[in-house]
């Protein structure tokens, strides 16, 4: 769907608005900055491939709305389920973070605080069905390696999730954080009730944080290095490696990976080959 067509579909919320510039383009969705007078919005449009990877856009909208109500996300205004799904949100001031920003002074601590506030808010959400998602990725990839990974992940899940489940973002990578003075989380498609340690494992493993930076993330979240449940965190890191590898394998089955994604697949595959 073209952005012009999506803008017409979203006329109930964006009548009189104009497309200003593209913010993001990826295999699953694209986002556009939209303006009307001094107001700014984000228009997000699903690509056809999104249906294979995104569990439920309505559930995402509900989780995003709950997070916005407590100041953790920009307000979502309209969801047109589609296909393709079209989402309208308010535009969060500031830029999306880049991976290199995590090493800047205070950034990793700010992200730790943002995640802690999310987890402590005890927001409602759907249960996490990671087993079903990973089985779907393995079927899409269609290889013996992917099936082996899914079985290994299932064994890890039996050991990972302990304690009460809370709403987690499940994809709090740098690009899903916007702003500096009051950072906000965007793109809540994988949000569900889960283990907070998994969110921290995503940040650490997805970005390959150096040990010192990972230590700062954990110390800021838990209020001191001595309070970190190291064994459980290491298990969650291994689980995320499985999730990331299966997601990339399934994505590769649908078409060529971007160069950065191919490098990431090679890196995580090496880590897993050393463990399985």
pLDDT, tens only, 60-110: 999 999 999 999 999 999 999 978 999 999 999 899 999 999 999 999 999
Which of 42, 63, 90 is the C-terminal boundary of a domain?
Answer: 90
Which of 38, 67, 90 is the C-terminal boundary of a domain?
Answer: 90
pLDDT tens, 166-198? 999 999 999 999 998 899 999 999 999 999 999
Number of CB atoms found within 10 A of residue 108's CB: 25
The Cα 85–Cα 51 span in angstroms is 9
Peptide bond into 217 cis (omega under 30): no
CATH number of 234's domain: 3.90.1200.10
Q: Which domain holds residue 268?
A: 99-273
SS3 call for 71: coil
Q: Are 114 and 224 in contact (CB under 8 A)?
A: no
Q: Could you tell me which residue, 115 or 158, shows the higher pLDDT? A: 115
Structural domains in the chain (count): 2
The Cα 176–Cα 96 span in angstroms is 7
Q: Is the pLDDT of residue 274 over 70?
A: no
Could you give the residue ranges of the DSSP H alpha helices within the chain?
A: 3-9, 11-14, 57-69, 107-120, 130-141, 144-160, 196-206, 211-222, 230-254, 259-273
15 and 148 housed in the same domain: no
pLDDT tens, 205-223? 999 999 999 999 999 999 9
Q: Is 223 exposed, middle or buried (0-12, 13-18, 19+ CB in 10 A)?
A: exposed
Which of 45, 67, 90 is the C-terminal boundary of a domain?
Answer: 90
120 and 247 housed in the same domain: yes
Q: How confident is the model at residue 159 (pLDDT cuts 50, 70, 90)?
A: confident
| Total-model pTM | 0.93
CATH number of 7's domain: 3.30.200.20
Q: Is the pLDDT of residue 137 over 60?
A: yes
Pairing of strands 18-25, 29-36: antiparallel
65 and 199 housed in the same domain: no
């Amino acid at each position: 769907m073209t952005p012009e067509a999506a803008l017409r579909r979203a006329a109930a919320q964006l009548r009189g608005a104009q497309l200003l510039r593209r913010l993001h383009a990826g295999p699953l969705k694209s986002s556009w900055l939209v303006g009307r007078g001094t107001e700014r919005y984000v228009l997000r449009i699903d690509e056809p491939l999104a249906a294979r990877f995104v569990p439920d856009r309505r559930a995402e909208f509900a989780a995003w709305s709950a997070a916005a109500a407590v100041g953790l996300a920009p307000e979502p205004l309209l969801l047109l389920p589609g296909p393709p799904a079209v989402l309208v949100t308010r535009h969060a001031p500031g830029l999306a973070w880049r991976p290199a920003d995590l090493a800047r002074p205070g950034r990793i601590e700010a992200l730790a605080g943002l995640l802690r506030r999310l987890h402590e808010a005890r927001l409602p959400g759907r249960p996490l069905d990671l087993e079903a998602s990973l089985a779907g990725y393995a079927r899409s990839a269609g290889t013996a390696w992917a099936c082996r990974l899914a079985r290994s992940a299932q064994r890890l899940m039996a050991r990972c999730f302990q304690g009460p489940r809370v709403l987690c973002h499940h994809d709090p990578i740098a690009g899903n954080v916007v702003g500096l003075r009051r950072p906000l989380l965007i793109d809540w498609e994988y949000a569900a009730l889960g283990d907070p340690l998994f969110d921290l494992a995503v940040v650490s493993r997805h970005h390959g944080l150096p040990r010192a930076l990972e230590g700062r993330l954990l110390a800021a979240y838990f209020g001191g290095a001595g309070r970190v449940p190291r064994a459980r965190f290491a298990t969650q890191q291994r689980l995320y490696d499985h999730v990331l590898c299966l997601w990339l394998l399934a994505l590769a089955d649908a078409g060529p990976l971007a160069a950065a994604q191919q490098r990431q697949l090679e890196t995580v595959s090496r880590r897993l080959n050393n463990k399985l």
